[in-house]
Amino acid sequence: MTENYITTIESAIIKMGLNPEETRGEEPGQWQVFRGAICIFIDVWKPSHNSDWNYTGTEESVNTFQVIAPITELPTEDKLFKFYEELLHMNFHLYQASVIINRKDNVLALKFKCILAGLTEASVVEAVESTGYYAEMLADYYSKNYGVKKLSE
């Protein structure tokens, strides 16, 4: 990870009206911002190895930019099939984000991820804004339709 990408991300954070120093995480390349009550995590990292599941155009691991917004718990077991089916359908409609689950932690989240090369202030703002927009909207939707607890409560 190069310093100029940290500068790019922090310039984007300033454009969003926030102070980068107040949003920095524990490690370099980590930030937290909020959209209302929803916490949005911004991360830059380089995986220790490249996975076959990550198309990067190279066999070597590459620097990665990611935005994650955890939004709700997962529904009860009896509602999971319909819930998963709806998540797959929802991913078809989303721009600049996708819904993901973490069964281990029982969490539904919104995610944006891309290769860091070529990242601009505008693309950082778009990734954070779209992830936050969908997170806010879908936290309400899934809470109402599946009775799940919002993580922002």
State which H helix or E strand residue 1 sits in: none
Which residues lie below 8 Å from residue 32, measured CB to CB, with a gap of 6+? 23, 25, 39, 40, 41, 42
Task: Give Cα separations from 74 to 67, 87, 114, 130, 146 (angstroms).
Answer: 20, 11, 26, 22, 9
Residue 77 included in any domain:
yes
124 located within any domain: yes
Kindly state whether residue 10 falls inside one of the protein's structural domains: yes
Counting the structural domains of the chain, the total is 1
Domain assignment of residue 42, given as a range? 3-146
Query: Is residue 151 in some structural domain?
Result: no
- Please state, in angstroms and rounded to a whole number, the distance separating the CA atoms of residues 88 and 25: 31
Amino acid at 100: I
Query: Is the CB of residue 139 less than 8 Å from the CB of residue 149?
Result: no
pLDDT higher than 90, residue 12:
yes
Query: 22-31, 39-48, 105-114, 122-131: which has the minimum mean pLDDT?
Result: 39-48
Question: Rounded to an integer, what distance in angstroms lies between the CA atom of residue 87 and that of residue 41?
Answer: 21
- Name which of 14, 116, 2 is nearest 65 in CA terms: 116
One-letter amino acid identity for 15?
K
Give the Cβ contact number of residue 109 at 10 Å. 21
For the segment 88-125, what is each residue's pLDDT rounded down to a tens digit?
A: 999 999 999 999 999 999 999 999 999 888 899 999 99
Q: Of 83 and 63, which is predicted with more confidence?
A: 83
**DSSP annotation of 17:** T
Left, alpha or beta for 26 (phi > 0: left; psi -120 to 50: alpha)? alpha
CATH code assigned at 58: 3.30.1460.10
pTM: 0.90
Q: Residue 2: its pLDDT value, please?
A: 61
User: Residue 23 domain-assigned?
Assistant: yes
